[in-house]
Amino acid sequence: MSQNAPNLQELAQLVNAQLIKVTDAAIRKVATLRDAARDSISFYMNTRYQGDLQNTQAGAVILRAEHAADCPTSALIVDDPYHAYAVIASHLHPRDLAPAGIHPTAIVAEDVQLGENVAIGAYAVIHAGANIGAGTEIGSGCFIGKKAVIGANSWLADNVSIGASCVVGSNAIIHPGVVIGADGFGFAPGGGSWQKIPQLGRVCIGDDVEIGANSTLDRGTLDDTVIEDGVKIDNLVHIGHNAHVGESTVIAGCAVVAGSTIIGKNCIIGGATAITGHIEIADGVTLMGMTGVTGSIREAGVYASPLPAQPVKEWRRNTVRYTQLDEVFRRVKSLERELENLKESEALALHQAS
């Protein structure tokens, strides 16, 4: 929570809002409409919460102009209340920064390059040749491999692993348990066994990227795995070797992107989506949750493939019918041919009769 409580004029300037019903309330935190007190600010977008808006005790509410009449307190008028709320919430509740310095239990190689005001937590290990940008925080138990590069003002939470020679840009947020730069899943069959293929590429991550807890990004086989600027990755996401994720794409939890897949810019990948390897997905594609993608998508748009939940008896019947689709298709084609032959015979008979 911010120690300095800004007034409403300051918050309005922060999000370029029109301020109405101005009070002298000092805002210290964000809260829901129902739970807010005079030192809190909330936001309103959904009419199902109109009653909460009309009865809120918040010091101020962020909303659109058409809802201002229902607001009993100060209002910040904006076009996009949710985005403005996110900006103000980040301002009022900044992350607590660790003090600069190296914890006595951390192991840092002699030739590691450290920028100004770097913080390195307990039991972190940073190998030779690594480069850590100014203002970056390395959490407790982190592992930074040889010649890895971390940009300025990034935050690696506890127990993050960055493999050798991998690159993370500036202003990154990497949550606990993330593994960047483990070997890709590369094996060549032969002789009744599987021969491991050395994974010689890197993972290269741009600026302003956030990666959720326990996600994994594999290093490339020969080329690099690439995550462009502004990408946001949720928890428990897997990115396979040599994949390329375009700028400002967001990927929700438990999604899987197989190797050598190229995902365009400004895409939205829903939770538990599975994307096969060696395909391309165009810019501006939205994949709804649990979508299975088995081929390239060439045009922007919204795509989905999962079946909704059904009563188990109905699901079993439909599953059996699904397995019979090929047989039904063959029978329909056979019937179509028989019908076509019958029509030709009738036409011939009419011609001969005339």
Residues with a known catalytic role: 241
Strand partners, 7: 26
CB burial of residue 241 (10 Å; 0-12, 13-18, 19+): buried
Rounded Cα distance between 39 and 90, Å, is 16
User: Parallel, antiparallel, or unpaired for β 187-190 and 131-132?
Assistant: unpaired
Chain-centroid distance, C-alpha 350 = 67
The answer to whether 142 and 160 are in contact (CB under 8 A) is yes
For 122-142, letters b (16+ CB in 10 Å) and e give: ebbbbbebbbbbebbbbbbbb
Residue 276 has which token pair? 């096969």
237 closest CA partner among 260, 250, 255, 220: 255
Strand partners, 161: 143, 179
Beta-strand (E) ranges in 264-309? 268-269, 274-275, 280-281, 285-287, 292-293, 301-303
Rg (CA), the chain: 28
